[in-house]
Amino acid sequence: MNQLFYLLLIVELLNFGLAHSQTIKFPVRPIRIIVGIAPGGGMDAIARTLGQKLSENLGQSVVIDNRPGAGGNVAMEMASNSIADGHSLLFISATSVIHPILYKAKFDILENFLPVSQISAQGYVIVINPSLPARSVKDLVLHAKNNPHKINYASSGIGSPIHLAGELFSSATKTKLVHIPYKGIAPAYIDLLAGNVDMSLPAIMSAMPYIKSGKLIGLAVTLPARSSVIPELPTITEAGIPGVVVVNWYGVVSPLGTNKHIVNILSKKISDSMNLTEVYKKFQIDGSEVSTSSPDQFKSHIKIEREKWTQVILNANIKVQ
């Protein structure tokens, strides 16, 4: 008798929870997407594309709120302290996972937020100065092994995705590459084009003009599959080096405590917004790929990314001052 009573009680509670979730009205006011960089640039442009299409799908205004500073911590603090009702979201990138490993961060993506959906993915490409005697990844690896500590690569700074991609490549190929950090990719290109630096792994789109003009030679992309922008280049895996997959991704998270039903609504609406033909074409022109996911899939992706880059940083003994 007691077992029947408890069983009926559980069923009643489940029905109540389901009925309650179905009566949640969302959204009831404009949605704010907090972005941790100043207006302009790739991340901001993708956030604004999302905002426009999401507004159309939700029937509510979506405002992009740029809050640069402290390596994204300003935006993370603001988002974390927002009311957890789905009306304040945080736009994140791959660096949002990398930075807490390198710096003493007050906030953590998985501890302070709920993953909603990935938005896009963009790959990097191995480029070399034409003076380097290599025309394939195999050539590059052989040349680097024959010249340990003599082949250098440029990055946009210590701890940047380009830096970590270089360390991952060096580790996977058992080569001794020398890292040369710059304050941004623009000055790195200057020395790379001049032949003062041998190679780099910049974003595909930024490298395209130099590859097309022959000023730099592209060898392979870091994506899991060939890029639609430059399909003639193999992936690093296809070139014979497994395990070197580096993707610069963007996504959306919500403050911890947001109702799961609301998170699922947002994830579905984001997917609907991004998987439109015009958005696909726009992203391809910009060198990106639309890549949406469920909350659980995005959470798993963040965990895998954190584990991978933690290992790379530890193995390479990367430290920031």
The string of pLDDT tens digits covering residues 8-38 is 556 565 555 554 545 688 999 999 999 999 9
* Structure-model confidence comparison of residues 188 and 7, the more confident one: 188
Which tens digits make up the pLDDT trace of 123-178?
999 999 999 999 999 999 999 999 999 999 999 999 999 999 999 999 999 999 99
Question: To 5 degrees, how large is the angle CA 153–CA 302–CA 48?
Answer: 85
pLDDT of residue 12: 61
Residue 234 is given by DSSP the state P
Percent of the chain with pLDDT over 70: 93
* Structure-model confidence comparison of residues 94 and 41, the more confident one: 94
pLDDT of residue 282: 87
d(CA 131, CA 198): 8
DSSP 126-191: EEE-TTSS-SSHHHHHHHHHHSTTT-EEEESSTTSHHHHHHHHHHHHHT--PEEEE-SSHHHHHHH
> Among residues 203, 225, 100, which one has the least CA distance to residue 155?
203
Mean pLDDT, all residues of the chain: 91
Q: Is residue 251 predicted with pLDDT exceeding 80? A: yes
Least confident of 92-106, 129-143, 205-219, 299-313: 92-106
Q: Which residues pair with 121 in a beta bridge?
A: 249, 289
Q: Is residue 291 predicted with pLDDT exceeding 80? A: yes
Out of 3.40.1080.10, 3.40.190.10, 3.40.50.2000, 1.10.1240.10, the CATH code matching 125-221 is 3.40.190.10
Average pLDDT score over residue span 266-275: 96
Positions of CATH 3.40.190.10 in the chain = 125-221
pLDDT of residue 8: 53
Beta strand 247-255 with 88-93 is antiparallel
d(CA 315, CA 20): 49
CATH fold of 20-122+249-316 reads D-Maltodextrin-Binding Protein; domain 2 (3.40.190)
DSSP 105-142: -S--HHHHEEEEEEEEEEEBEEEE-TTSS-SSHHHHHH
**Residue 254 parent element (H or E):** strand 247-255
| pLDDT band with cut points at 50, 70 and 90 for residue 40 | confident
pLDDT of residue 21: 47
Which tens digits make up the pLDDT trace of 65-85?
999 988 788 999 999 999 999
Count other C-beta atoms under 10 Å from residue 248's C-beta: 21
Encoded amino acid at 155, one letter: S
Q: Distances in Å between the alpha carbon of 117 and those of 55, 88, 113, 128, 208?
A: 16, 14, 12, 35, 28
- pTM score, whole prediction: 0.86
Positions of CATH 3.40.190.150 in the chain = 20-122+249-316
pLDDT of residue 19: 47
Do 48 and 35 meet the contact criterion of CB atoms below 8 Å apart? no
Which tens digits make up the pLDDT trace of 51-65?
999 999 999 999 999
What share of residues in the chain are helix, strand, coil (percent, to 5)?
45, 20, 35
Least confident of 54-63, 211-220, 274-283, 300-309: 274-283
